[in-house]
Amino acid sequence: GESVGLHLPTLSVQEGDNSIINCAYSNSASDYFIWYKQESGKGPQFIIDIRSNMDKRQGQRVTVLLNKTVKHLSLQIAATQPGDSAVYFCAEGDYGGSQGNLIFGKGTKLSVKP
Amino acid sequence: ETGVTQTPRHLVMGMTNKKSLKCEQHLGHNAMYWYKQSAKKPLELMFVYSLEERVENNSVPSRFSPECPNSSHLFLHLHTLQPEDSALYLCASYQTGTGGGYTFGSGTRLTVV
């Protein structure tokens, strides 16, 4: 039979606009959340993290928002640039876990139009 | 470079071959991981090593055999693979309880023919 690839949600934005990438996580006991960026041909790269005692955290041009009530995580990228084009993954886990195992989402592909 | 180095970057092997993937981390982390990333599924955890002991084997077929000789090195030995094993194999390391997420290597793109 025909093989089917993993169809990632895609977000297309204009250069200079703000991007918002969303993620629904599964485990209400998770207390640690991370966003990763994966460019073509590379491994995932850490962007920003947040612990469950916070609902917002800001980095350089990025902001992560956490809504524990609805188990929702979002990544906001300000003034999106062509270099931001990549697949973005959210991950959830247990901050104090002995192995630190993370559960990864399927990813969202961000495409930035010049 | 992220501090986690994987070799080779690309590997093509036949179904009867035996090969090994290597991962080295220079970060002083105490946990290392193998993940599989394919076109059909999101990141799949394969093995976890904490303080050089395997603490998790996520129902991975025996044709994949990990080895962690010390806290800085991790290997994945491959034998009699199937075409569906073709994927990007990612190694990651982590210092438990410190945050900052995993640090990933760039992966080995494996093609089984």
pLDDT per residue as tens digits for the range B37-76: 998 777 888 999 987 777 777 789 999 999 999 989 999 9
B34 touches chain A (CB under 8 A): no
Q: Does A4 touch chain B (CB under 8 A)?
A: yes
Count CB pairs under 8 A between chains A and B: 70
- Does residue A1 carry a pLDDT above 70? no
Tell me what the pLDDT averaged over chain A comes to. 90
Inspect the interface and report whether the beta carbons of A43 and B107 lie closer than 8 Å.
Answer: yes
Residue A3 has pLDDT above 50, yes or no: no
CB contact under 8 A, A43 and B31: no
Residue A49 host element (H or E)? strand A45-51
Q: What is the DSSP letter of A57?
A: E
| Residues of A (38-67) whose Cβ lies below 8 Å from B | 41-46, 49, 51
Q: What is residue B42's predicted lDDT score, i.e. its pLDDT?
A: 79
Are A49 and B42 a contacting pair at CB < 8 A?
no
Location of structure tokens 């920003």: A48
Indicate the helix (H) or strand (E) that contains B75. strand B73-79
Give the per-residue pLDDT at B51. 75
Distance CA B99, CA B8 (A): 29
Contact across the interface for A43 and B100, Cβ inside 8 Å: no
Q: Is the pLDDT of residue A90 over 90?
A: yes
Q: What is the DSSP letter of B7?
A: E
* Chain B interface test: which of A35, A101, A104, A109 (most B C-beta within 10 Å): A101
Q: Would an 8 Å CB–CB cutoff place A16 in contact with chain B? A: no
CA of B32: which chain A residue's CA is closest? A99
Q: What is the pLDDT of residue A88?
A: 96
Spatial separation of the C-alpha atoms in residues B22 and B91, rounded to whole Å: 9
Say if residue A73's pLDDT is above 70: yes
How distant is the Cα of A107 from the closest Cα of chain B, in angstroms? 8
Residues B45 and B59: their CA atoms lie apart, in Å, by 10
pLDDT at position B101: 83
- Could you tell me which residue, A90 or B50, shows the higher pLDDT? A90
Burial of B53 (0-12, 13-18, 19+ CB in 10 A): exposed
Within 8 A of B101 by CB-CB distance, chain A residues are: 34, 36, 46, 49, 91, 102
| CA distance from start to end of chain B | 30
The answer to whether the peptide bond before residue A9 is cis (omega within 30 degrees of 0) is no
